A = this chain, B = another copy of it.
Amino acid sequence: MYIPTYQDMLDAHARIAPHIVRTPVMTSAYLNELTGAELFFKCENFQTPGAFKVRGATNAVFGLDDEQAKAGVATHSSGNHASCLSYAAMLRSIPCNVVMPKTAPQAKKETVRRYGGKITECEPSTSSREETFARVQAETGGDFVHPYNDPRVIAGQGTCSKEFMEQTDGLDMMVAPIGGGGMISGTCLTLSTLAPEVQIIAAEPEQADDAYRSFKAGHIIADDAPKTIADGLLVPLKDRTWHFVSNHVTDIQTASDAEIIDAMKLTWKHLRIVMEASCAVPLAIILKNRDFFAGKRVGVIVTGGNVDLDTLPWIK
């Protein structure tokens, strides 16, 4: 199993910098007062396709040699990875094939199509997805870019923390949400070399706390179809992301859906940004574990901003 290196991350940043947004870091005097910490928010929701996943996707797409590139890329995803990979493929004018469950939200499908991605629908089951994906890949020859367990993707996500450290004057802790572990792994990859003094805290929904339980148990525990408002964080860890989580993460803390929704609304109100429920898990744990974070300089990665504005979780 190839584990991406710090140099891979540096190469990734040089490769993708012309194609991504160097997103701003925002602060809120009010949220600092509320938490007792000094919070810095890296706004990956301001990436053009609305999520940090454009980093890993762009690294994979622009790292292909010309021969491979002709056949394009392929993936399965019902979320931000699908639109970000389509977006990156559009930038390089190569094909992108995406297998999505029939039941995926219409808006997500429209975004993939807007960026030129070709969708093949499957049933909403693991077996149908794997079968359909195998067929699509065989037919198209597209290079498989896994949403998070791919070394190119992890190296790409790691570029976020590199920028974050350049944009701030030192941090004590870095907090990011954890689902499959792509962003947290990239964060570990970068900080373990660049700033090993920074504690890395993963934030997870209580209702999908498989990473938390894996971390405590010392081996991967995969959940069966968890349900939480933080719908970007449902997937389990895989071998590469487990490598980083088990070796470099300081702690995993969890928050309930109600706490996540409160933190989401607080951020919308005081930072005045639109971001997904998944991005609110870090602030939720910071509010919940005040003593742990108070007095510290804490970086928070705001992972994405693709929200269905018609159904906000605090409006019944």
Residues of A within 8 A of B (CB): 24, 26, 29, 45-46, 48, 50, 265, 268-269, 272-275, 305, 307, 309-310, 312, 314-315
Pair A265/B309 contact, Cβ less than 8 Å? yes
Contact A45-B305, Cβ < 8 Å, known A310-B314, A314-B310: no
Chain B, residue nearest A28 (CB):
B48
Contacts of A265 in B (CB 8 A): 309
Contacts of A48 in B (CB 8 A): 29
Pair B314/A312 contact, Cβ less than 8 Å? no
A307 to B312, CA, bound (A): 14
A24 to B305, CA, bound (A): 18
Contacts of A273 in B (CB 8 A): 272-274
Q: Which 7 A-B pairs have the closest CB atoms?
A: A272-B305, A272-B274, A45-B272, A268-B274, A315-B315, A268-B309, A265-B309
Pair B272/A272 contact, Cβ less than 8 Å? no
Shortest distance between the CB of A275 and any CB in chain B (Å)? 7
Pair A315/B310 contact, Cβ less than 8 Å? yes
Chain B, residue nearest A304 (CB):
B272
Contacts of A314 in B (CB 8 A): 309-310
Other CB < 8 Å A-B pairs besides A46-B272, A272-B275, A273-B273, 10 of them?
A29-B48, A45-B272, A268-B274, A268-B309, A269-B274, A269-B307, A272-B274, A272-B305, A274-B274, A312-B315
Contacts of A305 in B (CB 8 A): 272
Shortest distance between the CB of A109 and any CB in chain B (Å)? 16
Shortest distance between the CB of A23 and any CB in chain B (Å)? 10
Contacts of A269 in B (CB 8 A): 274, 307, 309
Contacts of A29 in B (CB 8 A): 48
A269 to B309, CA, bound (A): 7
Chain B, residue nearest A270 (CB):
B50
A305 to B312, CA, bound (A): 18
16 A–B pairs (Cβ distance < 8 Å), ordered by A? A24-B24, A26-B46, A29-B48, A45-B272, A50-B272, A265-B309, A268-B274, A269-B274, A269-B307, A269-B309, A272-B273, A272-B305, A274-B274, A309-B312, A312-B312, A315-B315
